Every structure is written in C-alpha cells, then in structure tokens.
Structure 1
C-alpha cells in the first residue's frame, strides 16, 4: 500500500469510528478506492471507479463487450459503439463497468481513455490530456484539429479503448475519431445521432435488478414487508438507478419506507400537475420517469441541513462535468480543506455526488448533469421561497455568483496577478470561463497580458509549468472570439487584440517548425522519442520541405503499423516537388503508390527538381510505369537534364523488366540525345541487347558505334 492509499485507509477508519449517521454507501466507496482489486491492469486507466453496489446489466453490457472485443468487419475501419438512454438510466456506469472488466483491459493493453463531454465540452483539453497520457508532453496543439491529428498518429499502432461519455451533440464526437484499427470507441449519449456507430439502447433496470441495487446500497437483506415496499418504491421511481440510489440513501438515514413512498407520490403528483398546467399536454412515459427522478432529487435536497443545502447550491456556479476536488471545495465554500473534504463525502453519501475520475491519486467527485441543473436553479432561487414546496436558494444572479467565486480566488493571488495562483486542479482550466460569466471581459484581456518578473507571458508560463498549455490555447481562442464580437463597439481595441492573438498563434505554429529533421532522427536513434511522436511532429510542420525531409530521416525507424500514417502525411504535402520526394521515400514500402509518385514527379514544373524526382524513382519503377517515365524524360527540353534522367532510368533496367515494345521506346528516347550522351547510356543496355539479339547483336552494336563515330566525328 502506497502513501496515498494509507491516507485513504486512515480516512476510512476515522469515518467508521465517528458514526455520525453517515451512509454505509459512502464508507464502501472509500474502501473500494484502496482495495487492491480496484487497480487497473492497463498502464493508462482514466475510467471512473465503480460504486461498490454496482449491479450488472448483462442484457446490454455483454453485447457491447463482444463488439468491443471483436474484429472490425472491414480492415482499417474504426469500430464505434454508442449506448443510448435517458438521463439517470446508468449509461456511464455501464461504460465504466466495461472498462473495469479484466478481459477488456487485457484486450486493450495500451490504455482505457475517458472523456466526459457534457453540453459545452472543452474538447481541446481532453485531447491534450490524452496526448500527454501517451507520453508526448512537448506537443502544443493550437486547435482540436491539430490535436486530433497528433492523437491519430500516436494511436496508429496502439490497442486502446476510447470512451466518449455524455455526448450531447454529434459533431463533438468527430475529434475523437482518432484511433487505429486496433482501437475501439465507446460513446454514451441520450439522443445525439453518432454517424457510423453501432447503436445499443439501455432500458431501465428490471424489477430484480432494482431490488438488488437497493439491497446492496442498504447492505442488508430485506424482510418480506420491506421487500414489498422496495418493489413499490422501485416502480414509483421508474426503475431508474440514480433515483433508486437516492431513495436508498434516505432509507439508510432512517426515513421509513411508508413515509418515503408517500412523499415521493406527493412530489411526483405536484410535478405532473405543474407540467400539465404549463405545457397543457398529457404526460409521456419518458416524462413520468423524469418526474420520478426530479422528485427523488427534491426529497433528498429537502432533507439536507441548511448549511449543506447552501453548499450544494454553490455547485451550480461550476461548469458541466468538471472534477470536484477538496481544494476546489475549500475555495468554493470558504472553508478549510478538511471541512471541504467532509462536506464532499457527506454529499456523496446522500447520492448527490458521483465518484470522480481514476486518473489521479487525489479523491475527487463529479456532479450528474441533472443534479447540476438543480444546483444552478438553487443558486438563483429566492432565499425566501413563496411556497413551502420550493427550496430556499442563494438569491444570486449568474454574474454575481461568478464574481463572488472570483473574489475568493483573487485573495489567493500575489498582487492580484492571476498567474500567481496555485493550481488546485480546477481554476487554470476554468478561469476565463468564470471571468466571462462574471462579465469581466476587460480582465480576460489583461490576464493574457500579465508578465512574470523575468518578462515572460505570465499565464502561458504558468500553464506550461503545470503541463496545461492546451488551456492557454483555449483561452487565447476564446479571448480572440470575444474581441471579434466587440468590433462594432470598439474597433481600435478589437483590431489590436485580433493582431495580438494572431501573433500568439503564429508563435505556436513556429514551435513545431523549429525542430530540424536531423534532430528528430537523432532523438529517435537515441530512443528519446518514440516513432509515433516523431511522425506526429513531422506532420505538425507547416513547411513542405521540412515535412519531406523529416519523413526521409525517420522512415527507417517507423514500424510497419505507422507506415500508413506516414503515407497520409506524404500525400498531404502541398508542394508537388516535396510531395514527390516524400512518396519516393515511401516507394520501397508501398509499391502501390508508385503511379501516384510518378504523377507527382511528372507534374513538377521546376526541371532540375523533376529530374531529381524521376531519378529517385527509377530503381523502383516496374515495367508498367517505365514507358511513362521514359516519355517524361524525353519531354525534358534541356539536353543536360534529359540525359541525366534517361541515364538513370536506363541504369536500372533489367532484362526481365523490358519487353520488345519497351525496348523500342527506349531506343527512340535515347535517339533524342546527342551522340556523346547516347554513348554514355548505351553500356547499360548491354544485358537487354543480349536478351533480344544474343551476344552477336552486342558485337554488331559495338561495330556500329565504331562505324558511326568514324563517319561523323
């Protein structure tokens, strides 16, 4: 057991000894975090932990599992599976359970990657986190497209599972289509149509599964009377796992089954009446399930102490699907770290928080998006509600709430400079977002111009120090968009900011081009870089010559699995000269690209470069392409360059590669040269002359040379 596990073990013992009415579910969660069996076998494991009372859903999980473990129906096709279902139905939990299965982990030895998107995802940060998890800390993407390309290269020869959780919009999935044929992508969504995905619909729990979940949460066998009440309860809340967990937490707190059922029925009836009055339409089955879930939320919140309810409401100032740490909680609730930890555990024990991610040693939590909506509503609700059925809120506007949170963080800075903040695992990712929500637009631009005592950009310096340059790029992008939106109000400031942010991006573009191909090759040779990382940097370059030379330098180090990626890079090179050069270097590995390479060579306008390309391709050209290459060489106007091209083509001829029509074409092509150049090329044709006319033909050819040279000196 390491130090962190030991600390968690001590926390478990303390929690068990205090017995402050804490739910056993929370205690079991903590035990699960230090249990040896919870450690993943894969090197990279980002899936959230499973609750100890997880109930299997084999009616869907087994089918999805077989798809994840199966082979692609078409070679090179990325298999994408998508789990669909209502909010609170357990989609994310099923996906996490699959990720925890030993068979899945063994099948994907290069890792289990996880990204929970939500309604407004920070896609660039997720992609950058995955890139760093794969060992590349030097790459600095300027947008999601470049990050996706980098990931595609890094994952080309890997076997990994990529889970894209809580997708709201289909276009948000596209940047994550980055894996090689050995990888699989698993998506969870309520209703976003994911192109090309194999669809799996998750229904509510069965009555048997619902009873198993309630029993597991309560950690006790139910009496016959209790079981009847539990069956009624499960039906009342629509067999939704999240609602069942909330209900179990209340029973664990001492609320009787009868009281809970009565309160739930009344709450659901109020919601149905209000909804019909507002929408003037009958309730659908989906709506009734939603009523049961919201009713469960309301009852759980209604029974919170006032101070805890206030803490819950403050969670509404956070963005969707963020990781909530103890350090963040201490600032958010203006309390000590110990008190923040205790409140987080309390809310988790009441099933109002979810377990956090597994990719960090620090205990953390998440907030279900449905509960996040409730917290945001409470943030703005009146402190003195008009009716007893409504919960008291904080009475803040959205800008006011963000301003208050920023003021708490400002107290932690040195001289009011944001870049002096200590990273709490949250604020560096979200500061710009909070400033914008607080309507502090000018402060966003000032933040991005802060400087360190040494004269460096303060925000970039701190983001790079924390390994979060993607945050800086995201912040610059957002600030630029804000400046563009301000054009009509203040043209002078808007235009100057446009130029500033464009200059910053161009500086980022320069970083990739500053690594010479020789250095990339040396890093590979010394095994400081991995082949995938080197190829990714070649791809990132904006310079065609740099890309071609880079491919030439690293090609010998690339494993077969990365060669298709290298070919893709070569084909994308804009300058025809360098595209031909790159394709020529790949020709020994991809004979099928030779026609494409020859076309690229012939299309080069610069004659010396065209000759260089033809000469480079000569050793690899089959008979079917030699005729076209000879025609291209004969068409070269400059005698010197035409001679070089033809000589090299002839040098690489073998008797087996030349048939009689091609022989005729060769002679006609050589006849376009002056005699000295013809004679220089002629010795290379000796094997072919013998093939068609025998040794005697070669003797006669020698005689012809002497005769003609005597006639026309």
Structure 2
C-alpha cells in the first residue's frame, strides 16, 4: 500500500477490496455449478481468490491492531429490521458485478467529504422495465452485511407512476415510530423526516421513481442515512445531478445468455440436459430480460420442450402497436401472450386497470369488484389471484397488515391500454354503492374507498355528484377520520369551482390533529363560513348548525 495513504485510509481501501473479493468468490462458486466445461479454470480462480482473501484479512487485522482499532462495529450488530421490503423471488438471478459494486458503496464508511455534505452519496439504478432493478435493490436490502451497516432499519418506499408523495412520507414517519400529524406539503414532511433521521443509520430504497421531486423529498435525511433509487427513466440522473452533485448512477444491463437460459429453465420447473436449442432461441427472443423470460416460462411450463419454438413464433408475431413505447416491446409481447392464454378469465385481470394505485390494491376490494361484475365467489377469486401470481402477472404483498395486489408499471400500462376503463369506473362505483346504502360517507374503510372515491366519480363524469359530496359534512368529516388531511384537500382540486376553493382554504387551516371532534370541527367550519352567500355553502351551513347545537353566530 502506498505511503501517501493514512493508516485509516489503508484500512478503508482494504475493507473494500475484501468485500469485493468475497462477493467475486460467491459469483465464481455459482458459475461453477452451471459451467461444466470451465470447471478446472474456475476451480483454480476460486483457489487463487481464496488465498488473496486470507492475505487481505490478515493484513487488515495487523493494521487495525497497529491503529488500536476494534473490529468493524457492524460485524457485531444484529441485522436491521426490514420495513415493507419485498421478499426475494423463488428463482433469483442478478448482475453480481453490479451488486458487488453497489454493496461496497453501501457498507464502506462514508468519507469525510460525504459527511461534510450531510449525507452518504445516493445510488441510482436505471434500466428499462423488466431487467430486475427492483430485484437487485431487494437483494441489497436482504444482505446481512448491509443490514448490519444500517442498524436503524431499511425502509422500502414504492412510488410509481401515480405516486402520492405525502402519503409515502407519512408511511415512512410511522415506520420510524411516530404517529404523524397532518402536514400540507412535502417540504413539511421532509423536514420532519430529517428531524427523525438526524441521528439514525438508515437505508431508504425509493423504488420505481418517475420524478425528481420524489427523490428530493427524501434526500439529505442524515449523515449516516443513504438512498438507493430505482428508475426506468434514463434522464433522471442528469436532472438529479443539478440538486445532488454526489449522486452516483448505475445502468443495469440484460442477463448474459447462460444466466438467461438457467433462469428460464428454473422458472419452468424443468432441468433439461442437454439444454434444447429452443431455450437459446427463447432467451434471444426475450432480449434476455428476466421478466419477459419469466412470463414466457409460465406458458412453457405447461408444454413439452419440443413445441417451445411455437412460443417464439407467437412472441415475435404478437401485435403491440397500441401499447406505449415506455417499456420494451418484448415485454409487452410477453404480456399479451399471457393475457391471451387466460381465455375468458382475461376480463377479470383487465378489470384491475380501473384502480388508481396499482402498486397496492386491497385484495378484498378486487374480490368485491369481481363478485359484482363476474359473480365470482371469494374462493374462486382467491384461486384466480393465485393463478396470476404463479404466472408472474401480479404480486401479493402485505401493506399495513392488509393483503394487497401489486402490478409492475408495464403490467398496469398494458391493462390500462387494453381495458374499457371508462365503463370500469362506473362498475366500481356500482359495486361500492351496494355497501353504501345510507350514502357514500358510510362506505367501507378498506384502504381504497375513501382514498379514491372522488377520483372515480370524476373519471365517470359524475361531476354534480362529486361537488355535492365535497360539500357534505358527513363525507368530509368521515374522510378526515380515515385519511390524512392532504388526501381530503386534494379532492377539492379535482373540480375548478369557487365554492370548493373556499372550503379547501378553510380546511387547510384545520390543524387540530388526526381525529377532530365532530362538533368541534362543525363549530370551526361555521365560524369560518358563516358569511359565505353561495347557496350550496348555505346548505352545508344548515347541516353544520344541526350538528353544532350550541353554536351562536357572531354579534354584528
């Protein structure tokens, strides 16, 4: 080691070399199981690598002893708790070189420059849909060394195309152990997160980011906190560099051919020797994209290998002109084949296009819609969901102790383009109406109804009903009990209307906690709105007066 380095710098660099060589050893051992013809070469590399690892380990022990340092503190810490981090898939394939590089960036202690800037450098992983950037982020989160490095927790925040940024901030604040009060803008949420994380050692994974502001809302939380960001957008890094000069970007590439073949066979559940030439053809036709391979494997698993070439023909002939070019064409073609294979049941799947938040759709809400539209029993609905999961067409996750269905962005875009979404909005409202015999304010607290009813009314062009709802005290009070204040206020932005703007302005100053007393809130609204002459607001005032029996108008 050059004498230009201090003792501490030498230790840091050797620690980084040790981690990289250890992970390289893992990669070589994995290759040893699938590369029969290269076995002697790989065995020699493993032996040489093992010797170098031991030499570095001994050198580290000597240097740490000379410096009077104790072993790295992360080696004795228990692994951090994972918050909302998805489980790893049954069949896992990742770019190990990229994984090792990212891991080294996460586990090595931050430099003095990074600490001076107030944070460790954020890491951004970019690739088109279907290459497995979320998977590699999940593998990082599950890694024991990384979990020990971020001892105060690893937190997964899924954003997506239609993200509710403040709801994501509130969920994170609650995961950090605080019951959050209302706040009206992301800046207030960021400030509270910085207060909570100032002395914590956390890793925050922002998955499926579409906008710069989503990253900035979680940036700079603390000296020893770090961001990992996944995105399909190849321009996001350039925009973020203007605000976060230290951010480091990485591009995830497709699988190599051997990895793609092995992954495909694993997903089919068949281990064939020798490997049929059809598998090579399928891997190339899928452009070596893991999710495309998984989707085609779901179809191949029910067919003998001798007819797999027909899948290639079908894949290449699938029409995708009507689908957005945001996602790889091969991925959309694989989706089309899988949806076609569902037959009449494809209508059930297409119905998921109606839901606004495609990353967390309550399962019981989906079952309710299917029961209304297709008369499915709960058991039939559950069986169909299991079928979709097996075929890689959706995931089932637990969100706040509720079972939720989750779609990838490309899956949602496929469904939205293929379904008759306008009709589905009306059907969903009709299904919910059955559970609201005494008005919308008596709807189910299922994690979706109160959050998105107004959005569906607008999409169904029921604007008169929407405005009437937003001027109904029973609705606004109940929604304020079920949702954060910003969710209620956002509904008033759906329609350009003077009376609704007035109500929103008054409600935005309501800061008395998550669950206001009914009469107390009625008194507040009366005091703020009593001078409003609009007839529709007068109807609301009459409703408030019935609730607030002791309220007296101010003396003129």
TM (norm. structure 1) is: 0.55
Of 197, 200, 206, the residue aligned with 2:256 is 206
The answer to whether the 8 A contact 1:163-1:187 is kept is yes
Query: 1:401 aligns to what?
Result: 424
Number of residue pairs matched?
A: 422
Structure 1 residues 373 and 138 mapped into 2: Cα distance closer, same or farther (>3 Å)? closer
1:679 alignment counterpart: none
User: CA offsets per residue over residues 341-373 of structure 1, 9 Å max, x none?
Assistant: 22111111111113435x544443311111111
| Aligned partners of 2:161 and 2:409 also within 8 Å | no
| Residue 367 of structure 1 pairs with residue 407 of structure 2 | yes
Q: Tell whether 2:471 aligns with 1:459.
A: no
Rate the CA distance shift 1:337–1:423 in 2: closer, same or farther, 3 A.
Answer: farther
SS, match of residue 213 in structure 2: helix
Q: State the distance in 1 between where 2:208 and 2:292 align.
A: 18
Q: What is the 5 A alignment of 1:185-264? A: 185-190=227-232, 191=234, 192-193=236-237, 194-195=240-241, 196=244, 197-226=247-276, 228-253=277-302, 255-264=303-312
**Contact (CA 8 Å) 1:83, 1:189: kept in 2 or not?**
yes
Q: Which of 389, 409, 412 is the equivalent residue of 1:348?
A: 389
Distance, in Å, in 1 between the alignment partners of 2:172 and 2:428 is 29
Deviation (angstroms), 1:511: 5.2
Change (3 A) 1:69 1:428: farther
Corresponding residue for 2:205?
163
Q: Partner of 1:239: helix, strand, or coil?
A: coil
**1:426 corresponds to 2:448:** yes
- In 2, the alpha carbon distance for the partners of 1:439 and 1:161 equals 43
Query: Structure 1's 168 and 120: CA in aligned 2 closer, same or farther, altered over 3 A?
Result: same
1:587-611 Cα distance to aligned partner (Å, 9 max, x none): xxxxxxxxxxxxxxxxxxxxxxxxx
Partners of 1:225 and 1:43 lie apart in 2 by: 41
Q: Which has the larger radius of gyration?
A: 1
For residues 287 and 357 of structure 2, what CA distance do their matches in structure 1 show?
A: 25
Structure with more relative contact order (C-alpha pairs < 8 Å, separation 6 or more): 2
Mapped partners of 1:346, 1:507: distance in 2? 47
Q: Secondary structure at the match of 2:428?
A: helix
Does 2:181 align with 1:139? yes
Structure 2 residue aligned with 1:605: none
**Higher alpha-carbon deviation: 425-434 or 109-118:** 425-434
Q: Is this contact kept in 2: 1:450–1:458, CA < 8 A?
A: no
CA distance in 2, matches of 1:451, 1:342: 41
- The alpha-carbon distance between structure 1 residues 364 and 511, as it changes in their structure 2 partners (threshold 3 A), is closer
1:45 correspondence with 2:95: no
Residue deviations 1:538-563 (CA, integer Å, cap 9, x gap): xxxxxxxxxxxxxxxxxxxxxxxxxx
Q: Tell me by how many angstroms 1:443 deviates.
A: 3.2
Tell me by how many angstroms 1:44 deviates: 4.8
Change (3 A) 1:201 1:225: closer
Q: Against the structure 1 CA distance between its residues 304 and 297, is the aligned structure 2 distance closer, same or farther, given a 3 Å change threshold?
A: same
- How many angstroms apart in 1 are the aligned matches of 2:400 and 2:272? 37
- Offset at 1:188? 0.5
For the Cα contact (< 8 Å) 2:173–2:180, is it kept in 1? no
Q: Distance in 2 between the 1:262 and 1:291 partners?
A: 19
Structure 1 residue 219: Cα displacement? 3.1
1:448: how far off?
3.7
TM norm structure 2: 0.70
Matched residue, 1:329: 366
Displacement of 1:314: 0.3
Q: Per-residue displacement from partner, 1:196-237 (whole Å, max 9, x unpaired)?
A: 3200110001112212212322333212143x3222211111
Q: CA RMSD in A?
A: 2.8
Q: What is the CA distance between 1:64 and its match in structure 2?
A: 0.9
Distance 2:464 2:154 in 1: 41
Alignment partners' CA distance in 1, 2:200 and 2:223: 8
Unpaired runs of 5+ residues, structure 1, are 1-39, 280-285, 381-397, 487-493, 515-713
> Is 1:127 matched with 2:139?
no
The residue that corresponds to 2:347 in the other structure is: 310
CA distance in 2, matches of 1:249, 1:169: 33
| Pairwise CA distance, 1:427 | 2.4
- Give the gaps of 5 or more residues in structure 2: 1-77, 517-556
Q: Give 1:185 shift.
A: 0.5
Q: Distance in 1 between matches of 2:96 and 2:336?
A: 31
Task: State the SS of the aligned residue for 1:187.
Answer: strand
Is the 2:361–2:405 Cα contact (8 Å) retained in structure 1? yes
Rounded Cα–Cα distance in structure 1 between residues aligned with 2:248 and 2:349: 38
1:62 aligns with 2:104: no
Offset of residue 310 of structure 1: 0.6
Given the alignment of the two structures, is residue 502 of structure 1 paired with residue 551 of structure 2, yes or no?
Answer: no
Question: SS of 2:254's equivalent?
Answer: coil
Deviation for aligned residue 1:88: 0.7
The answer (yes or no) to whether the contact 2:130–2:290 under 8 Å persists in 1 is yes
Contact in 2 for aligned 1:89/1:241 (Cα 8 Å): yes
Q: Secondary structure, in 3 states, of the residue corresponding to 1:79?
A: coil
The answer (yes or no) to whether the contact 2:166–2:189 under 8 Å persists in 1 is: yes
Picking from 116, 125, 134, the partner of 1:92 is 134
